[in-house]
Structure 1
Amino acid sequence: MTHARRKITAEERRARLGARHLLASAARAATPEAVAEALLGLHATDPASVYLSVAARLRTPSVTELERALYEDRTLVRMLCMRRTMFVVPRELAPVVDASTARAVAARERRNLAKVLHEQLGLDAGWFARTEGAVLAALERRGEATAAQIADDVPELKAQIVQSEGKPYEARPRITSRFLGVMAAEGRIRRGRPLGTWASSQYRWIPAEPHPDLPADEAKARLAARYLAAYGPATTEDVKWWTGWTLTDTRKALARTDAVAADLDEGAGHALPAHLEPPAEPKPWAALLPALDPTPMGWRSRDWYLDAAYTSQLFDTNGNIGPSVWWNGRVVGGWAQRPDGEIVTELLTRQGVGREAREAIAAEAARLTAFFADVRVKPSFRTPLERRLTAAASG
């Protein structure tokens, strides 16, 4: 069947967002696995983001349920993959992500570390392999261990390298974290439970289950199709940016999907046939999403849901979005957690944000406050709006 090329408006894309990304209250999921499935992957660079992204989309937010999926059933897998970013993905998708993106990222991480170890410490590939074997043996004995415990068992990891030599910020860190990071990128070990609360950035390491091997081209086509299912319609540049692929690889992968051409406000795009029909009129919805949530970070071109004038307030200098407030498919403001636990919001626009919206946003803030309970989150990065909101607590 052929489909006539048609224009898919920004209004249609916003209308689909609440249901497809499980943000509208009626669309919320029952399990963390369903959330990860709908979003393809959850940003996991900031430890708290995974929990908060899932909480925003569950009918009954639960730390225990997410920890079950991550650490007991292991139906969700943490991987260094797209754009050299940490994601949590569904276990059945892990082989696709591994072959399509993570494998190349791991190879670069290994090359970079091996070069430093050889140039600074004279260590070769044989040393690398022996040390990897010692790490795996240590984890097999312990079951799980912190980086410090592994380094105690494998003293070779206490070797130091020089970073930024001669600069005011010169450092001489141990190689422990980088070495374990390479092994994790290659899928040989993985992060286990955090130390302390769910918001902690310290964690244990555990052995990892190997992924089935897939051909890279097949995996890239499957990932492109899954991306369009979660985020389409989208432009070629959106897919290229999200995956971290070259333009050539992106085009080849898209060509192997069932996507058809569509016109977007940004120009030519790709849509799955199921997304060509106009969406139903959505019911109003509000959401408070955390820093680096998959929804605001899902596209390279963001004008259809984010006014460019808000970027300087909501993003840091590296392009990371902070906590955002949404109303009916648009970013309308930001939020922060103050030291006393209060969730505070700030609207960046009044256009289309009336009483109903403000009440819905307040209800989401109360829902988020209940989820945090006694946990306080220290942001991994700070945005201008988040700084302003937290500073107001002492003003």
Structure 2
Amino acid sequence: MHHIDDEQRRIRLGRRHLLARSLRASSVVKVADAVVALHATDAATVYLSTCARLSEPNVETVERALYEDVSLVRLLSMRNTLFAMSTDAARFVDASHARAVAAKERRTFLKHLREDGKGLDEHWLAEVERGTLTVLDERGRATGSELSAVVPSLRTKITVFPGTRQETVQGVASRVIRLLAADGRIRRDRPRGAWTSSQFRWTATTPWPAADPAEARTEVARRWLFSYGPATEADLKWWTGWGVRETRQALAAVTAEEVSLDSGASGWVVPGDLAPEPPPEPWAALLPGLDPSAMGWTDRAFHLRADHRGALFDRAGNIGPTVWWNGTIVGGWAQRADGELVWRLLSDVGREAVRHIEQEAAGLSAWVGGARVTPRFRTPLERELTA
């Protein structure tokens, strides 16, 4: 069996994720496709992850892709998480993930409506959705609060998990908007605040055309293996959120080739992707929390020391802002309330690495400008650096 060692995996990461300075991209679409999809739960992550891979990073380029030419779209998809991806990738992710996620979201919400006991059902929900879409057609775009002010049913409150410890009263507006977005009938438009804000306006859009889910899963697996391979079956299963059967079917449909890894596990690559790649020039990167390069595998041992995890992850397993050197996570960074960007090394990487990291930190500070970035998922090191 062909063997691919950890050093080669780190080389591939730097090259294929466009992190080496000479390999950075000129367009947002190229960045998104290089990592398949960008985590978008935290609004700032899309900008920080993209600009870390752009040859000329700036907020306006990412905003144009998201809100003007809409070449970058957000979908509730893998692991029921919000991702941003190119429209080319989105047509496959919609069929492989988003349709199933949307159906599950709808079933769950209808169950909560029935349990509330007010007689609210799918007919009531359909009427509320029609009213919401009508307002968006008339206005062009609106926030959730603006929609609730015009559509009275959006101000309805229901009791979820009645009779249990989790019982709580909840407004339906955010749930209805989430369903419409999951179905692809509305999308996020420019936020009310700066690019770091998550208070989005919404605008009507057209759902993606139907496609065969199995064929879509094959294409998603192929793209992911090229960007993240060699990777294990468990890595692909975790990243996609598929079951074992779906994961193995996708690997078989791709005709992925099996390789051995330094960990002793079997990895998989796309057919013919066995040749070693030359290392790029020495590179450093400051990546945000939930960045794809840090969240791409369930087994991160080839680029993250086990004794660094406690400082860099929150209790739910979300990784915070990280400092990288030649394919390895070596520290973390944060932005203080006064705008100062600070970082700390967890490994001794030498003077050359420090010089490159300082250069990346200066570049990040320059394009972020006066914006303040606080990760949604805060980690011990990030909290300590900002204290």
What TM bracket, shorter-length normalisation? over 0.9
**2:359 maps to which residue?**
363
* Greater shift in the superposed pair: 173-182 or 320-329: 173-182
Amino acid at match of 1:288: L
Q: In structure 2, how many angstroms separate the alpha carbons of the residues matched to 1:382 and 1:223?
A: 30
Deviations 1:42-77 (A, max 9, x none): 000001000000110111111111111111101111
* Greater shift in the superposed pair: 133-142 or 324-333: 133-142
- Report sequence identity in percent: 51
Equivalent residues in 2 for 1:145-294, closer than 5 Å: 145-163=142-160, 171-266=168-263, 267-294=265-292
**1:332 maps to which residue?**
330
Instruction: Give the superposition deviation at 1:174.
Output: 1.1
Instruction: Give the superposition deviation at 1:348.
Output: 0.6
Instruction: Give the superposition deviation at 1:274.
Output: 4.2
Q: In structure 2, how many angstroms separate the alpha carbons of the residues matched to 1:347 and 1:233?
A: 28
* Greater shift in the superposed pair: 259-268 or 307-316: 259-268
- Residue 335 of structure 2 contacts residue 386 of structure 2 at CA under 8 Å; is this kept in 1? yes
Amino acid at match of 1:229: F
TM superposition score normalised by structure 2: 0.97
Amino acid at match of 2:344: E
Q: In structure 1, how many angstroms separate the alpha carbons of the residues matched to 2:115 and 2:161?
A: 14
Deviations 1:120-157 (A, max 9, x none): 03211111111111111111001000001111221101
Given the alignment, which residue of 302, 320, 342 partners 2:300?
302
Instruction: Give secondary structure in 2 for the equivalent of 1:296.
Output: helix
Q: In structure 2, how many angstroms separate the alpha carbons of the residues matched to 1:200 and 1:124?
A: 33
- Residue 224 of structure 1 contacts residue 239 of structure 1 at CA under 8 Å; is this kept in 2? yes
Deviations 1:228-265 (A, max 9, x none): 11111111111100000000000001100032111113
Q: In structure 2, how many angstroms separate the alpha carbons of the residues matched to 1:191 and 1:213?
A: 21
**2:101 maps to which residue?**
105
Q: In structure 1, how many angstroms separate the alpha carbons of the residues matched to 2:20 and 2:62?
A: 20
Instruction: Give secondary structure in 2 for the equivalent of 1:23.
Output: coil
Asked if 1:131 corresponds to 2:128, the answer is yes
Q: In structure 2, how many angstroms separate the alpha carbons of the residues matched to 1:337 and 1:169?
A: 35
- Residue 286 of structure 2 contacts residue 360 of structure 2 at CA under 8 Å; is this kept in 1? yes
RMSD (Å) for aligned C-alpha atoms: 1.4
- Residue 225 of structure 1 contacts residue 258 of structure 1 at CA under 8 Å; is this kept in 2? no
Asked if 1:386 corresponds to 2:369, the answer is no
Q: In structure 2, how many angstroms separate the alpha carbons of the residues matched to 1:141 and 1:152?
A: 14
Instruction: Give secondary structure in 1 for the equivalent of 2:178.
Output: helix
TM superposition score normalised by structure 1: 0.95
Deviations 1:342-361 (A, max 9, x none): 110011111xx100000110
Amino acid at match of 2:59: V
Instruction: Give secondary structure in 1 for the equivalent of 2:255.
Output: coil
Q: Structure 1 residues 129, 100: CA separation in 2 closer, same or farther (over 3 Å shift)?
A: same
Instruction: Give secondary structure in 2 for the equivalent of 1:256.
Output: helix
Instruction: Give the superposition deviation at 1:167.
Output: 8.1
Asked if 1:53 corresponds to 2:52, the answer is no
Instruction: Give the superposition deviation at 1:275.
Output: 2.5
Amino acid at match of 1:281: P
- Residue 231 of structure 2 contacts residue 269 of structure 2 at CA under 8 Å; is this kept in 1? yes
* Greater shift in the superposed pair: 270-279 or 160-169: 160-169
- Residue 11 of structure 2 contacts residue 326 of structure 2 at CA under 8 Å; is this kept in 1? yes
Q: In structure 1, how many angstroms separate the alpha carbons of the residues matched to 2:54 and 2:272?
A: 25
Asked if 1:36 corresponds to 2:42, the answer is no
Deviations 1:143-183 (A, max 9, x none): 00000111122110111123466789864231101111011
- Residue 112 of structure 2 contacts residue 160 of structure 2 at CA under 8 Å; is this kept in 1? no
Instruction: Give secondary structure in 2 for the equivalent of 1:234.
Output: coil
Q: In structure 1, how many angstroms separate the alpha carbons of the residues matched to 2:303 and 2:330?
A: 9
Amino acid at match of 1:295: S
Q: In structure 2, how many angstroms separate the alpha carbons of the residues matched to 1:166 and 1:204?
A: 35
Q: In structure 2, how many angstroms separate the alpha carbons of the residues matched to 1:183 and 1:281?
A: 45
Instruction: Give the superposition deviation at 1:209.
Output: 2.3
Instruction: Give secondary structure in 1 for the equivalent of 2:169.
Output: coil
Given the alignment, which residue of 309, 315, 318 partners 2:316?
318
**2:137 maps to which residue?**
140
Q: In structure 2, how many angstroms separate the alpha carbons of the residues matched to 1:284 and 1:320?
A: 27
Instruction: Give the superposition deviation at 1:15.
Output: 1.1
Q: In structure 1, how many angstroms separate the alpha carbons of the residues matched to 2:334 and 2:84?
A: 23
* Runs of 5+ consecutive residues of structure 1 not aligned to the other structure: none
Instruction: Give secondary structure in 2 for the equivalent of 1:191.
Output: strand
Q: How many residues were matched structurally?
A: 385
* Greater shift in the superposed pair: 234-243 or 127-136: 127-136
